[in-house]
């Protein structure tokens, strides 16, 4: 579990991750190739479960177009939210991630698509165009929280990020303060969360963890508890027990 910053309010006001449902945290999977593990599909052995104790998905290196996906649905006409955590060791990784449907061999099967481009930009696919985000700086070796709010009625999405030097949840923008982006493809239901990497001599070193989906609403809750939050919860429960014993 990658414990990143979570804004704290009154303990009694903390949501129980609302309707965000765990898709994958990788901790119960067998280290090695992800394909056929716990509902995952992958077309290349470079997608592996890695890590000791707190496991994650590594996209690895490759010399061909590759991908991995798992079911995470937002019906046509609905609005939903994907949450995940990511880290890159190479800003020019040419790796895309987000929501889509269809085969893993075609980038056109993305609906909501974010990417690290070969030029080293953290970018978004906005309809037919790829544009760099201009209001955040991504550091290598740092875990980030990411929320993608996908409106499958208007075929558009927004994205929010937090982690590292980005200490508060921040809505991602491109040139002209554009913060709403068009789907790359929009042919019906969103069926999966996916990671895809282009053929690259740069290497595609990216890692992903703690994937959640809310299939029916915009949901900007952080579902991954902070140690401090867990401690406060434990203290509150302990205090309740003590009061009941008196």
**Which pLDDT score, from 0 to 100, does residue 106 have?**
93
Neighbours of 236 (CB within 10 A): 13
Per-residue tokens: 203: 């290497």
| 114 is a domain residue | yes
Q: Quote the CA–CA distance of 181 and 96 in Å, as a whole number.
A: 15
**Which pLDDT score, from 0 to 100, does residue 7 have?**
47
| 6 is a domain residue | no
**Which pLDDT score, from 0 to 100, does residue 201 have?**
53
**Which pLDDT score, from 0 to 100, does residue 72 have?**
99
Q: Quote the CA–CA distance of 24 and 98 in Å, as a whole number.
A: 14
| 119 is a domain residue | yes
Q: Quote the CA–CA distance of 241 and 37 in Å, as a whole number.
A: 41
| 1 is a domain residue | no
Domain around 121 = 18-245
- Average pLDDT by stretches of 10, the chain with 246 residues: 52 56 98 97 91 90 85 98 97 94 94 95 98 98 98 98 98 98 96 90 80 99 71 42 46
**Which pLDDT score, from 0 to 100, does residue 171 have?**
99
| Distance, C-alpha 65 to centroid of its chain | 20
- Specify the number of domains making up the chain: 1
- CATH number for position 236: 2.60.120.200
Q: Quote the CA–CA distance of 110 and 183 in Å, as a whole number.
A: 8
């Amino acid at each position: 579990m990658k414990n990143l910053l979570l804004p704290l309010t009154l303990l009694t006001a903390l949501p129980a991750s609302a309707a965000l449902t765990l898709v994958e945290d990788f901790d119960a999977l067998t280290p090695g190739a992800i394909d056929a593990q716990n509902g995952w599909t992958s077309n290349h052995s470079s997608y592996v479960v890695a890590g000791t104790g707190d496991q994650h998905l590594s996209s690895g290196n490759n010399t061909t177009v590759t991908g991995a996906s798992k079911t995470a649905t937002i019906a046509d006409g609905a609005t939903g939210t994907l949450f995940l955590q990511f880290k890159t060791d190479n800003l020019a990784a040419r790796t895309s991630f987000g929501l889509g449907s269809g085969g893993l061999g075609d980038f056109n099967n993305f609906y909501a698509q974010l990417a690290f481009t070969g030029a080293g930009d953290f970018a978004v696919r906005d309809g037919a165009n790829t544009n760099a985000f201009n209001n955040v700086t991504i550091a290598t070796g740092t875990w980030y929280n990411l929320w993608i709010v996908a409106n499958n009625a208007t075929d558009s999405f927004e994205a929010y990020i937090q982690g590292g030097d980005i200490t508060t949840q921040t809505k991602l923008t491109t040139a002209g303060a554009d913060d709403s982006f068009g789907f790359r493809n929009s042919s019906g239901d969103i069926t999966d969360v996916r990671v895809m990497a282009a053929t690259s001599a740069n290497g595609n070193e990216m890692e992903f963890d703690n994937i959640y989906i809310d299939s029916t609403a915009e949901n900007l809750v952080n579902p991954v508890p902070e140690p401090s939050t867990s401690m406060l919860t434990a203290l509150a429960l302990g205090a309740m027990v003590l009061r009941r014993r008196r």
